[in-house]
Protein backbone atom coordinates (compact mmCIF):
# COMPACT_ATOMS: atom_id res chain seq x y z
CA UNK A 1 0.00 0.00 0.00
CA UNK A 2 1.14 3.52 -0.72
CA UNK A 3 1.20 6.16 2.00
CA UNK A 4 -2.01 7.68 0.63
CA UNK A 5 -3.74 4.30 0.66
CA UNK A 6 -2.68 3.72 4.27
CA UNK A 7 -4.05 7.14 5.21
CA UNK A 8 -7.37 6.44 3.45
CA UNK A 9 -7.58 3.02 5.10
CA UNK A 10 -6.95 4.50 8.54
CA UNK A 11 -9.55 7.21 7.98
CA UNK A 12 -12.15 4.68 6.87
CA UNK A 13 -11.43 2.45 9.86
CA UNK A 14 -11.61 5.43 12.20
CA UNK A 15 -15.02 6.43 10.83
CA UNK A 16 -16.25 2.86 11.07
CA UNK A 17 -15.11 2.54 14.69
CA UNK A 18 -16.15 5.99 15.75
CA UNK A 19 -19.65 5.18 17.08
CA UNK A 20 -18.28 2.25 19.11
CA UNK A 21 -15.39 4.34 20.46
CA UNK A 22 -17.76 7.16 21.38
CA UNK A 23 -20.00 4.71 23.19
CA UNK A 24 -17.01 3.28 25.10
CA UNK A 25 -15.89 6.78 25.98
CA UNK A 26 -19.38 7.68 27.24
CA UNK A 27 -19.42 4.61 29.48
CA UNK A 28 -15.99 5.41 30.83
CA UNK A 29 -16.99 9.02 31.40
CA UNK A 30 -20.11 8.01 33.35
CA UNK A 31 -18.01 5.84 35.66
CA UNK A 32 -15.14 8.31 36.05
CA UNK A 33 -16.76 11.69 36.33
CA UNK A 34 -14.12 13.24 38.61
CA UNK A 35 -11.25 11.90 36.54
CA UNK A 36 -12.86 13.10 33.31
CA UNK A 37 -13.39 16.57 34.73
CA UNK A 38 -9.77 16.80 35.89
CA UNK A 39 -8.46 15.59 32.53
CA UNK A 40 -10.67 17.89 30.52
CA UNK A 41 -9.81 20.88 32.68
CA UNK A 42 -6.12 20.13 32.18
CA UNK A 43 -6.65 19.79 28.45
CA UNK A 44 -8.55 23.11 28.33
CA UNK A 45 -5.72 24.84 30.21
CA UNK A 46 -3.12 23.42 27.82
CA UNK A 47 -5.21 24.18 24.69
CA UNK A 48 -6.92 27.51 25.39
CA UNK A 49 -7.43 28.34 21.70
CA UNK A 50 -8.99 24.99 20.73
CA UNK A 51 -11.03 24.96 23.91
CA UNK A 52 -12.52 28.38 23.14
CA UNK A 53 -13.31 27.30 19.57
CA UNK A 54 -15.06 24.14 20.82
CA UNK A 55 -17.10 26.11 23.35
CA UNK A 56 -18.08 28.71 20.72
CA UNK A 57 -19.14 25.98 18.28
CA UNK A 58 -21.18 24.30 21.02
CA UNK A 59 -22.96 27.56 21.86
CA UNK A 60 -23.73 28.05 18.17
CA UNK A 61 -25.23 24.55 17.91
CA UNK A 62 -27.16 24.87 21.19
CA UNK A 63 -28.15 28.54 21.56
CA UNK A 64 -30.83 27.61 24.11
CA UNK A 65 -28.16 26.36 26.54
CA UNK A 66 -26.43 29.71 26.94
CA UNK A 67 -27.63 32.19 29.57
CA UNK A 68 -28.86 34.65 26.93
CA UNK A 69 -30.54 31.80 25.06
CA UNK A 70 -32.30 30.57 28.18
CA UNK A 71 -33.59 34.07 28.91
CA UNK A 72 -34.76 34.44 25.29
CA UNK A 73 -36.57 31.11 25.38
CA UNK A 74 -38.23 31.77 28.71
CA UNK A 75 -39.32 35.29 27.72
CA UNK A 76 -40.85 33.96 24.51
CA UNK A 77 -42.68 31.19 26.33
CA UNK A 78 -43.92 33.60 29.01
CA UNK A 79 -45.25 35.95 26.32
CA UNK A 80 -47.04 33.18 24.47
CA UNK A 81 -48.41 31.87 27.76
CA UNK A 82 -49.72 35.34 28.62
CA UNK A 83 -51.29 35.59 25.16
CA UNK A 84 -53.09 32.26 25.51
CA UNK A 85 -54.12 33.05 29.06
CA UNK A 86 -55.41 36.51 28.09
CA UNK A 87 -57.39 35.14 25.14
CA UNK A 88 -58.82 32.38 27.30
CA UNK A 89 -59.90 34.86 29.99
CA UNK A 90 -61.45 37.16 27.40
CA UNK A 91 -63.50 34.25 26.06
CA UNK A 92 -64.55 32.60 29.30
CA UNK A 93 -64.98 35.61 31.55
CA UNK A 94 -68.54 36.87 31.79
CA UNK A 95 -68.47 40.43 30.42
CA UNK A 96 -69.41 43.14 32.89
CA UNK A 97 -72.23 45.58 31.99
CA UNK A 98 -69.61 48.25 31.29
CA UNK A 99 -67.86 45.95 28.79
CA UNK A 100 -71.16 45.10 27.11
CA UNK A 101 -71.94 48.81 26.86
CA UNK A 102 -68.71 49.47 24.94
CA UNK A 103 -69.47 46.67 22.48
CA UNK A 104 -73.06 47.90 22.13
CA UNK A 105 -71.82 51.41 21.37
CA UNK A 106 -69.29 50.08 18.90
CA UNK A 107 -72.01 48.22 17.03
CA UNK A 108 -74.36 51.19 17.01
CA UNK A 109 -74.78 53.87 14.35
CA UNK A 110 -73.42 56.56 16.64
CA UNK A 111 -70.30 58.29 15.35
CA UNK A 112 -67.39 57.70 17.70
CA UNK A 113 -63.85 59.02 17.62
CA UNK A 114 -60.82 56.75 17.55
CA UNK A 115 -59.06 56.63 20.90
CA UNK A 116 -55.67 56.89 19.14
CA UNK A 117 -56.00 59.22 16.15
CA UNK A 118 -59.33 60.96 16.96
CA UNK A 119 -60.69 60.20 13.50
CA UNK A 120 -64.45 59.79 13.33
CA UNK A 121 -65.25 56.13 12.95
CA UNK A 122 -68.33 54.56 11.47
CA UNK A 123 -69.79 51.26 12.55
CA UNK A 124 -68.31 49.36 9.63
CA UNK A 125 -64.73 50.29 10.25
CA UNK A 126 -64.19 50.49 13.94
CA UNK A 127 -62.86 48.02 16.42
CA UNK A 128 -62.93 47.55 20.14
CA UNK A 129 -59.26 47.64 21.09
CA UNK A 130 -57.53 46.32 24.19
CA UNK A 131 -55.40 49.33 25.16
CA UNK A 132 -52.86 47.08 26.88
CA UNK A 133 -53.03 43.96 24.70
CA UNK A 134 -54.25 40.73 26.31
CA UNK A 135 -50.94 39.19 25.29
CA UNK A 136 -49.11 41.71 27.49
CA UNK A 137 -51.33 41.00 30.46
CA UNK A 138 -54.05 43.55 29.70
CA UNK A 139 -57.51 42.79 31.04
CA UNK A 140 -60.85 42.39 29.30
CA UNK A 141 -62.32 45.10 31.50
CA UNK A 142 -63.99 48.32 30.39
CA UNK A 143 -61.09 50.48 31.55
CA UNK A 144 -58.79 48.61 29.18
CA UNK A 145 -61.12 48.84 26.20
CA UNK A 146 -61.24 51.66 23.67
CA UNK A 147 -62.90 52.38 20.36
CA UNK A 148 -60.28 52.45 17.65
CA UNK A 149 -60.42 52.93 13.93
CA UNK A 150 -59.58 49.87 11.90
CA UNK A 151 -56.27 51.29 10.79
CA UNK A 152 -55.03 52.13 14.30
CA UNK A 153 -56.15 48.84 15.73
CA UNK A 154 -54.45 46.82 13.00
CA UNK A 155 -51.18 48.76 13.10
CA UNK A 156 -51.13 48.61 16.87
CA UNK A 157 -51.47 44.84 16.93
CA UNK A 158 -49.75 43.51 20.04
CA UNK A 159 -47.71 46.62 20.72
CA UNK A 160 -47.59 48.17 24.14
CA UNK A 161 -49.74 51.35 24.01
CA UNK A 162 -46.77 53.58 24.85
CA UNK A 163 -44.69 52.03 22.07
CA UNK A 164 -47.57 52.48 19.63
CA UNK A 165 -48.09 56.14 20.57
CA UNK A 166 -44.36 56.79 20.24
CA UNK A 167 -44.23 55.15 16.79
CA UNK A 168 -47.25 57.16 15.62
CA UNK A 169 -45.62 60.34 16.88
CA UNK A 170 -42.46 59.56 14.90
CA UNK A 171 -44.47 58.60 11.81
CA UNK A 172 -46.53 61.80 11.75
ZN1 LIG B 1 -57.34 55.70 14.65
- Which CATH number belongs to the domain containing residue 128 in this structure? 1.10.30.50
**C-alpha 39 to ligand 1 mean position (Å):** 66
* CA R_g for the chain: 30
**C-alpha 80 to ligand 1 mean position (Å):** 27
**Rounded to whole angstroms, how far apart are CA atoms 31 and 150?**
65
The alpha carbon of residue 45 and the mean position of all alpha carbons in its chain are separated, in whole angstroms, by 36
75-84 own/partner pairs: CB under 8 Å, 24+ apart: 79/135, 79/136, 82/134, 82/135, 82/136, 82/137, 83/134, 83/135, 83/158
pLDDT value at residue 77: 67
Owning domain of residue 47: 3-57
**C-alpha 163 to ligand 1 mean position (Å):** 15
Which residues fall within 8 angstroms of residue 4, CB to CB, at 6 or more apart?
none
**Rounded to whole angstroms, how far apart are CA atoms 79 and 89?**
15
Q: Indicate whether 67 belongs to any domain.
A: no
User: Does 103 lie in the same domain as 41?
Assistant: no
pLDDT value at residue 1: 78
pLDDT value at residue 141: 93
Reading the chain (172 residues) residue by residue, the pLDDT tens digits are 788 888 888 778 777 887 787 888 888 888 888 888 888 888 889 888 888 888 888 888 777 777 676 666 666 666 677 667 666 766 677 889 999 999 999 999 999 999 999 999 999 999 999 999 998 999 999 999 999 999 999 999 999 999 999 998 887 6
Do the Cβ atoms of 161 and 132 come closer than 8 Å?
Answer: yes
Q: Indicate whether 143 belongs to any domain.
A: yes
Q: Indicate whether 64 belongs to any domain.
A: no
Q: Does this model's pTM top 0.75?
A: no
pLDDT value at residue 146: 96
**C-alpha 71 to ligand 1 mean position (Å):** 35
pLDDT value at residue 30: 87
**C-alpha 87 to ligand 1 mean position (Å):** 23
**C-alpha 145 to ligand 1 mean position (Å):** 14
pLDDT value at residue 97: 93
The H-assigned helical ranges of the chain are 3-31, 33-46, 48-61, 67-92, 97-106, 150-156, 161-171
Amino acid sequence: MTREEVKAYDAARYLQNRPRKLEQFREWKAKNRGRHRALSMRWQKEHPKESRAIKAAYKKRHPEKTRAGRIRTSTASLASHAAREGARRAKTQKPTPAVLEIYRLSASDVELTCHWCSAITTRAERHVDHVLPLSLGGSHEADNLAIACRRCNLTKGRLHPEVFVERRRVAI
